[in-house]
Amino acid sequence: MIEFKCHKGIGSKVEGEALVADDNFSARYDLDRIKGVFSRPQHKLAGESYRDKILVLNTAKGGVATAWMLHEMKSRNIVPKAILFNAANTILAQGAALAELTMCDRFEDGDVTSLLKTGDQVVVDPDAGLVTVLNRD
Amino acid sequence: MRLNDEEQAMLAGEMGEPKRWAIDHQIKVGRMFDAEDLVPVSQSHMMADPESVGDAGVSFLEKLADQGARVAIPMITDPRGVDLNYYRPLGQTEEMADLDRRTIEACSKMGILMTNTCTNYQTIMSPVLGDHVAFGDTGVVIYSNSVCGARSNYEGGPSALAAGLTGRTPRYGLHLDEMRRATRRFVVRQQPKGLTDWGVLGALVGKLAGSYWEVPVIEGLEVVPTSDDLKHMGAAMASFGSIPLFHLVGITPESPTLAAVGGEKLKAEEITAADLNALRSGFGGRGDKVDVVVFAAPQLSLVEMQQVADLCAGQTLKTPMLVCTSPQVYADAVRMKLVETIEASGGKVLEGTCFYNQYAREIGVANGWKRLLSNSTKIVNILGGYGYQPALASMEDCVASAIAGEIV
């Protein structure tokens, strides 16, 4: 078990499987939100399903639409369980607050896209500012 | 977070459930960014196009309206997802139109002015130096911060709505002096000519800086850009890099000198013609077939409408061409017969929408549009994820390509 400290975030404590890339994120630019996959060919997670994953990405990009979109994705249950960033932006935080989706950023131990690996079993506790990797020592 | 008596009352629900939701939302967001208090704002601007709001969002807006929500400050809206006077020919469905009708009804009930524009700084009420505002559209935010010297974070739909209801926003990010100082310094060696060049420069700076928390300062410009030039530059920078503020030395109001924004201590990074050409060449080339030509993102000013109309006058377009403008400009363009000129050539002017937020994926499939040509660097960036192969050209070449049926 490994623990990583981050800034206090938004949402409730969740557990899930990590899906990691050192890429940026926009729900509008990158996702097919009906199929639940990354659809932008240039994205490092192109073709991957994000449903119920703990998404781990570098930062937010693009416009403001993601704030509503996370809420809409949550209503259909085709949504990541949590999103972790090196640096979130305002839009992603606002979207997480409305959708009651878990989101944290700013990790003390460095780049979260290197700290976590795809397939890791991860617990995210936003109130404590703590991310625990269960499958590694 | 420090709250005054009125804000405490809002949070306790003494001023109704909508304000309680709104301030609770603002506290959650403010806490994530270490905001110490809330700052009064003079205007709010919300993105509420149905494609991004979705059925869940529209139901949320209706619930607030039914609970008696009423905005506390002037609040305006971003482009709609459907031009209700012209949607069936585009392949948009009755369901899409209904979602838009419901949004308009709920917003109007709350006292929101349905301005439906992403160029409100050119058409409604431009903010002024030091003005704290809660603006939504990224192109609006970057223009208002950089060109007007106003102060806004990206306020997505929910938080812009919250700001409209409470009349304030959490004081973090670009509401703070220290967050407005330059963090990256770029030197331009090739002078931009025309809207697309400004867009490409914005895109490159956005790509290089690449985060909401970076503030680029650009020096070396020998030409003074127009409002439309800066509109395209800012929209592209925000789209490629999520950047909300830039400074142009000697041009924008907070950077009369490099030193005024702390830029003299930063390493100068050169932007060469090769860098700009590399970005440009990623988007299509001559001789390629083109399925649709689009002028949008941001909506066109009256001046751009005249430029497009002049290029179309007396011509017949082989390729469908869509021109998106605000309801304010549309009315003037009708009166001045610019819409008539564009439509006589076979183009179509859409009112109060913008191409990429009007179900671009679905209308692409419905019309068999893959190869899209535009002079907007922002739109060619967005539409890659929507199943298009976008190409970039100047306004003149876009219209010439629509006439020829292939990229000239």
More confident residue, B143 or A42: B143
| B249 vs B244: CA distance, rounded Å | 17
Decide if A62 and B357 are in contact by the 8 Å CB cutoff: no
Instruction: Report yes or no: A65 at the B interface, CB cutoff 8 Å.
Output: yes
At B41, is the secondary structure helix, strand, or coil?
A: coil
Residue type, B162: A
Decide if A40 and B29 are in contact by the 8 Å CB cutoff: no
Residue type, B331: A
Decide if A65 and B55 are in contact by the 8 Å CB cutoff: no
Instruction: Of B310, B301, B300, give the one whose Cα is nearest residue B374.
Output: B300
Please report residues of A whose CB lies closer than 8 A to that of B173: 90
Average pLDDT of the segment spanning B232-247: 96
- The pLDDT assigned to B65 comes to 98
| B248 vs B236: CA distance, rounded Å | 15
Decide if B55 and A75 are in contact by the 8 Å CB cutoff: yes
Average pLDDT of the segment spanning B250-262: 98
| B64 vs B110: CA distance, rounded Å | 8
- The pLDDT assigned to B283 comes to 86
- The pLDDT assigned to B327 comes to 98
Kindly write down the DSSP assignment for every residue of B104-129, as one continuous string. Answer: HHHHHHTT-B----S-HHHHT----T
Instruction: Report yes or no: A102 at the B interface, CB cutoff 8 Å.
Output: no
- The pLDDT assigned to A29 comes to 82
Name residues whose C-beta falls within 8 Å of residue B301's C-beta, 6 or more positions apart in sequence. Answer: B119, B122, B227, B228, B231, B329
| B385 vs A31: CA distance, rounded Å | 7
DSSP β-ladder status, A121-125 and A130-133: antiparallel
| B404 vs B315: CA distance, rounded Å | 10
Which member of B55, B156, B384 has the closest CB to residue A40? Answer: B384
Instruction: Report yes or no: A12 at the B interface, CB cutoff 8 Å.
Output: no
Residue type, B215: V
- pLDDT exceeds cutoff 90 at B326: yes
Report the residue count for chain B: 408
Domain that holds residue A105: 2-133
- DSSP, res B175: G
Percent of chain B with pLDDT strictly greater than 70: 99
- DSSP, res A11: S
Decide if B32 and A9 are in contact by the 8 Å CB cutoff: yes
Please report residues of B whose CB lies closer than 8 A to that of A31: 385
Write down the mean pLDDT value for chain B.
Answer: 96
Please report residues of A whose CB lies closer than 8 A to that of B159: 67, 90, 94, 97
Q: Which of A12, A34, A91, A104 to mutate to test the interface with B (most CBs of B within 10 A)?
A: A91
Which member of B56, B173, B241 has the closest CB to residue A75? Answer: B56
Please report residues of A whose CB lies closer than 8 A to that of B49: 65
- pLDDT exceeds cutoff 90 at B165: yes
Separation in Å, CA B408 to CA B240, B348, B404: 26, 21, 7
How many structural domains is chain A composed of? 1
Q: What is the pLDDT of residues B27-60, one digit of tens each?
A: 999 999 999 999 999 999 999 999 889 999 999 9
- The pLDDT assigned to B351 comes to 98
Please report residues of B whose CB lies closer than 8 A to that of A10: 28-29, 32
DSSP β-ladder status, A31-32 and A37-38: antiparallel
- The pLDDT assigned to A91 comes to 93
Confidence of residue B142 (pLDDT cuts 50, 70, 90): very high
Quote the radius of gyration of chain B (alpha carbons, Å): 21
- pLDDT exceeds cutoff 90 at B289: no
Confidence of residue B201 (pLDDT cuts 50, 70, 90): very high
What domains does chain B contain, in order, with CATH numbers?
5-176 (3.30.499.10), 181-279 (no CATH), 288-407 (3.30.499.10)
Decide if A71 and B213 are in contact by the 8 Å CB cutoff: no
Token representation of residue A115: 């700290």
Instruction: Report yes or no: A10 at the B interface, CB cutoff 8 Å.
Output: yes
Decide if B238 and A63 are in contact by the 8 Å CB cutoff: yes
- pLDDT exceeds cutoff 80 at A62: no
Q: Which residues pair with A38 in a beta bridge?
A: A31
- The pLDDT assigned to A63 comes to 81
| B3 vs B22: CA distance, rounded Å | 14
| B69 vs B221: CA distance, rounded Å | 47
Confidence of residue B386 (pLDDT cuts 50, 70, 90): confident
Q: What is the pLDDT of residues B92-125, one digit of tens each?
A: 999 999 999 999 999 999 999 999 999 999 999 9
Query: Which chain B residue's Cα is nearest to A7?
Result: B32
**A7 Cα to chain B: minimum distance (Å):** 8
Please report residues of A whose CB lies closer than 8 A to that of B385: 28-31, 39-40, 43
Which member of A40, A59, A69 has the closest CB to residue B385? Answer: A40
3-state DSSP percent of chain B in helix, strand and coil, to 5: 50, 15, 40
Please report residues of B whose CB lies closer than 8 A to that of A62: 138, 238-239, 242, 382
| A96 vs B342: CA distance, rounded Å | 43
Q: Which of B21, B27, B52, B96 to mutate to test the interface with A (most CBs of A within 10 A)?
A: B52
Token representation of residue A66: 């993601």
Q: Residue A32 sits in a domain of what CATH number? A: 3.50.30.10
